[in-house]
């Protein structure tokens, strides 16, 4: 195994306060959309060895432990505060065997081919980062093992993209117009994701998807919501890759209040889970 480590391709480290907020609000309101579909696609078998890359606070590990009797579950994440919550939750499930380790880059400190299942939820969206993650999962998953990767597909959050396009048109901001069009292409289609996973060495690759909606009462509610604050807004800003995003998202906030003043603002989420097998 090479000693070289890539730059982190995971979420940022959570403080203890944000880890608690993440587990209390983000998991049930948002990540459950992905975790429920992922768990339903797990190939069941005894004595499974499961690696959860970027596990955050350990969702949906307890569900996986129920579906995979006598399994051993290993999680890794850059946030020790998040891992402490994951350990606490795992300890509350009778008979669950687990280990959670801090890891902030690739390769993760586990041997090649050690796992029957490898999962990751909502990785950062760029193709380069997905490629690194898929390569690492390919290294970790044993022959006949299963990959499960859950993430938003292209078409997710299109309402925000439309409001940014409106900002660009109104203020004749050509660089914003170019950036939002490029950002819209960062997330994969189902077919692109299928091809990426096959290229990483997996067979029998399938993508399952569901459309879901996230609801917000107002622009301020959207901006302050833990899902937006801890996941969506950092990704939007990163994908746009331009200075002055504070003005752009202030416009988005005010536009939501204007256009949805008498109704609920709904944000589209194209929930996708790709599965594949190592042969």
Under a CB-based contact definition with an 8 Å cutoff, are residues 103 and 80 in contact? no
Under a CB-based contact definition with an 8 Å cutoff, are residues 70 and 64 in contact? no
- C-alpha 181/C-alpha 60 separation (Å) is 33
How far CA 98 is from CA of 101, 140, 176, 240, in Å, comes to: 10, 17, 45, 38
* CATH 3.40.50.720, applies to 16-151+189-198+268-277: no
In 3D space, the residue among 236, 235, 230 whose CA is nearest the CA of residue 251 turns out to be 236
First-residue to last-residue Cα distance in the chain: 21
Q: Beta strands 265-277 and 141-152: pairing type? A: antiparallel
The pLDDT value recorded for residue 170 is 97
The pLDDT value recorded for residue 152 is 97
- C-alpha 48/C-alpha 55 separation (Å) is 17
The pLDDT value recorded for residue 10 is 40
In 3D space, the residue among 191, 178, 47, 209 whose CA is nearest the CA of residue 115 turns out to be 47
The pLDDT value recorded for residue 244 is 76
pTM for the predicted model, two decimal places:
0.93
pLDDT by residue for the chain (279 residues), tens only, comes to 333 444 333 457 899 999 999 999 999 999 999 999 999 999 998 899 999 999 999 999 999 999 999 999 999 999 999 999 999 999 999 999 999 999 988 999 999 999 999 999 999 888 999 999 999 999 999 999 999 999 999 999 999 999 999 999 999 999 999 999 999 999 999 999 999 999 999 999 999 999 999 999 999 999 999 999 999 999 999 999 887 789 999 999 999 999 999 999 999 999 999 999 988
The pLDDT value recorded for residue 3 is 38
Rounded-to-10 torsion of CA 254, 187, 128, 23: 70
In 3D space, the residue among 73, 80, 37 whose CA is nearest the CA of residue 56 turns out to be 80
Structure tokens at 150: 């859950």
Residues 6+ apart with CB under 8 A from 88: none
The pLDDT value recorded for residue 11 is 59
The ranges assigned to domains in the chain are: 16-151+189-198+268-277, 158-182+218-263
């Amino acid at each position: 195994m090479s000693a070289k480590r890539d730059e982190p391709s995971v979420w940022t480290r959570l403080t203890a306060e944000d880890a608690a907020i993440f587990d209390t609000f983000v998991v049930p309101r948002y990540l459950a959309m992905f975790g429920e579909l992922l768990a339903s696609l797990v190939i069941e078998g005894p004595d499974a060895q499961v690696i959860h890359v970027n596990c955050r606070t350990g969702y949906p590990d307890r569900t996986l432990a129920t579906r995979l009797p006598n399994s051993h579950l290993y999680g890794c994440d850059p946030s020790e505060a998040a891992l402490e919550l994951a350990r606490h939750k795992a300890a509350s499930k009778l008979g669950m065997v687990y280990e959670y380790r801090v890891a902030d880059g690739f390769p993760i400190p586990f041997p090649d081919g050690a796992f029957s299942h490898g999962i990751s939820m909502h990785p950062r969206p760029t193709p380069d980062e997905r490629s690194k993650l898929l390569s690492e999962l390919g290294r970790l998953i044993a022959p006949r093992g299963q990959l499960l990767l859950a993430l938003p597909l292209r078409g997710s959050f299109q309402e925000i993209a439309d409001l940014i396009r409106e900002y660009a048109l109104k203020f004749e901001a050509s660089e914003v117009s170019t950036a939002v069009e490029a950002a819209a292409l960062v997330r994969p289609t189902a077919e692109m994701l299928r091809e990426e996973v096959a290229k990483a060495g997996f067979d029998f690759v399938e993508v399952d998807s569901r459309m879901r909606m996230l609801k917000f009462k107002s622009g301020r509610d959207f901006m302050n919501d833990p899902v937006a604050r801890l996941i969506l807004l950092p990704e939007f800003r990163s994908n746009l890759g331009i200075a002055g995003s504070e003005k752009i998202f202030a416009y988005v906030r005010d536009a939501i209040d204007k256009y949805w003043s008498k109704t609920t603002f709904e944000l589209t989420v194209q929930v996708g889970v790709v599965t594949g097998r190592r042969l």
